[in-house]
Amino acid sequence: MKTFRDLLNSDSVFVFDGAVGTRLYDKGVYINRSYDELNLTAPDLVREVHEEYIKAGADIIETNSFGATRHKLQPYGLEGKIRDINLAAAKIAREAAGENILVAAAIGPLGIRIEPFGPTSFDEAKDLYREQVEALVEGGVDLFILETFSELSVIEQAIRAVRELSDLPIIAQMAIQMDGNTSFGTSPEVFTKRLNELDVDVIGVNCGMGPNHVLTALEKMRSVTSKPLSAQPNAGLPRDVQGRQFYMGSPEYMAEFSRRFVQAGAKFVGGCCGTTPTHIKLIATAIRADSPRQAAQTFVKQSVTVADLTPTEIEVVDPEARSNWSRKIARGEFVTSVEVLPPKGCDAQKTLDSIRLLKDAGVDAVNIPDGPRAQTRMSAQATAVLVEREIGIEAVLHYCCRDRNLLGMMSDLLGAAALGLHNLLIITGDPPKMGPYPDATAVFDIDSIGLTNMANKLNHGLDIGNNPIGRPTEFSIGVGVNPGAVNLDEEIRRFEWKVEAGAEYAITQPVFDTEQLRTFLDRISHVKIPIVAGIWPLVSFRNAEFLHNEVPGVNVTNEILERMRIASDKGKEEAREEGINIARESLLEVRDVIAGVQVSAPFGNVKYALQVFDALSEPPALAGSQA
**SS3 assignment for 595-620:** CEEEEECHHHCHHHHHHHHHHHHCCC
Rounded to two decimals, the pTM is 0.59
Taking the CB of residue 199, how many other CB atoms lie within 10 A of it? 13
The residues pairing with 596 across neighbouring beta strands, listed in sequence order, are: 335, 532
Burial, 389: exposed, middle or buried (Cβ in 10 Å; 0-12, 13-18, 19+)? exposed
What DSSP line would sit under 555-604, residue for residue?
A: ---HHHHHHHHHHHHH-HHHHHHHHHHHHHHHHHHHGGG-SEEEEE-GGG
* pLDDT value, residue 344: 85
Q: For the chain, what is the largest distance between any 2 Cα atoms, rounded to a whole number of angstroms?
A: 96
Structural domains in the chain, CATH included, are 4-307 (3.20.20.330), 322-538+595-613 (3.20.20.220)
Is the confidence at residue 17, as pLDDT, over 70?
yes
* pLDDT value, residue 290: 61
Instruction: Taking residues 282-307, report their average pLDDT.
Output: 51
Per-residue confidence band for 530, with pLDDT thresholds at 50, 70 and 90: very high
User: H or E segment at 505?
Assistant: strand 505-510
* pLDDT value, residue 593: 94
Is the confidence at residue 300, as pLDDT, over 60?
no
User: H or E segment at 238?
Assistant: strand 238-241
Q: CA 281, CA 56: separation in Å to the nearest integer?
A: 4
The residues pairing with 477 across neighbouring beta strands, listed in sequence order, are: 424
Q: Which residues neighbour 302 within 8 Å (Cβ) at sequence distance 6 or greater?
A: 193, 224
Q: How far is CA 306 from CA 187, 214, 447, in A?
A: 11, 22, 21
Q: CA 335, CA 400: separation in Å to the nearest integer?
A: 23
Return the percent helix, strand and coil in the chain, to nearest 5: 45, 15, 40
Residue whose C-alpha is closest to residue 355's, from 388, 398, 379: 388
* pLDDT value, residue 242: 45
The residues pairing with 507 across neighbouring beta strands, listed in sequence order, are: 480, 532
Q: CA 15, CA 277: separation in Å to the nearest integer?
A: 12
- Residue 490 DSSP SS3: helix
One-letter amino acid for residue 509 of the chain: Q
Q: Which value, in Å, is the radius of gyration of the alpha carbons in the chain?
A: 29
Is the confidence at residue 622, as pLDDT, over 80?
no
Q: Is the pLDDT higher at 582 or at 428?
A: 582
Phi, psi of 116 (to 5 degrees): -90, 5
- What separation, in Å, do the N-terminal and C-terminal C-alpha atoms of the chain show? 80
CB 154 within 8 A of CB 128: no
Instruction: Taking residues 106-129, report their average pLDDT.
Output: 91
CB 150 within 8 A of CB 182: yes
* pLDDT value, residue 294: 34
- Residue 541 DSSP SS3: helix
Strands 60-62 and 365-368: unpaired
Q: Report percent pLDDT > 90 for the chain.
A: 61
Taking the CB of residue 244, how many other CB atoms lie within 10 A of it? 12
* pLDDT value, residue 252: 87
Residue whose C-alpha is closest to residue 200's, from 175, 154, 152, 163: 163
pLDDT tens by residue, 395-422: 999 998 777 777 888 899 999 999 999 9
The residues pairing with 506 across neighbouring beta strands, listed in sequence order, are: 479, 531
- Residue 436 DSSP SS3: coil
Q: CA 270, CA 231: separation in Å to the nearest integer?
A: 6
* pLDDT value, residue 475: 96
Q: CA 533, CA 613: separation in Å to the nearest integer?
A: 13
Is the confidence at residue 486, as pLDDT, over 70?
yes
- DSSP secondary structure letter of residue 322: T
> How many Å separate Cα 359 from the centre of its chain?
37
CB 206 within 8 A of CB 182: no
Per-residue confidence band for 345, with pLDDT thresholds at 50, 70 and 90: confident
Q: CA 351, CA 347: separation in Å to the nearest integer?
A: 9
pLDDT tens by residue, 36-85: 999 999 999 999 999 999 999 999 999 999 999 999 999 999 999 999 99
